[in-house]
């Protein structure tokens, strides 16, 4: 009985971890962040302060956070 409860708890934790890894916030930080910083450099945009990578990660993180909260990257919620 204890073993099955432990296995279930482990499975639930793994599923939670997978949910976090595939979440929009992680995607925004881990992919959109560096991508935005490369676009900033490509377009020769001068950032007011700091490194373009920091700006990219901040903007990517905010976009990911909004996507997480709204359930949509494009603001419009899926029906």
Partner 1 sequence: MGETSMNEAIMSKDALQALSPEALDALERKIAGRHMHRIPWGAVAWGLGNLIFWLSLWPLVFLDYLSLWLAFPLATLSISLSYLPSHEAQHSIIAREGHRLRWLNELVGHLSPIPLAQPYRVLKATHMEHHAHSNDPELDPDYAVHAKDDWAFLKNSILRRQPAGPAQKAYGDALVRTHQEHLMIDALIFNAVFTGTLFALAWTGHALEAALLWWLPKHLAQTYIQYYLSWAPHHPGIRQERYGQTRAFKSQLGNLISMGMQFHIIHHLYPRIPLSSTPAAFHELKDILELRGCDIGGWADSDHKSEAA
Site for partner 1 in 19-58 (CB under 8 A): 21-24, 27, 30-31, 33-35, 37-39, 42
What is the closest distance, in whole angstroms, from the C-beta atom of residue 5 to partner 1 in the complex?
21
- CA gap 40, 9 in Å, rounded: 44
- CA gap 72, 75 in Å, rounded: 5
Which of residues 9 and 17 has its CB atom nearest to partner 1 in the complex? 17
- Taking the CA atoms of residue 44, residue 49, residue 50 and residue 54 in that order, the dihedral angle to the nearest 10 degrees is -80
Give the residues lining the site for partner 1 (CB under 8 A). Answer: 18, 21-24, 27, 30-31, 33-35, 37-39, 42, 67-68, 70-74, 76-79
């Amino acid at each position: 009985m204890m073993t099955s409860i432990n296995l279930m708890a482990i499975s639930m934790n793994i599923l939670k971890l997978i949910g976090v890894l595939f979440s929009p916030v992680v995607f925004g930080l881990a992919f959109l962040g560096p991508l935005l910083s490369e676009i900033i450099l490509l377009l020769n945009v001068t950032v007011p302060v700091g490194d373009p990578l920091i700006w990219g990660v901040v903007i990517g993180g905010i976009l990911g956070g909004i996507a997480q909260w709204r359930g949509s990257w494009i603001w419009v919620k899926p029906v």
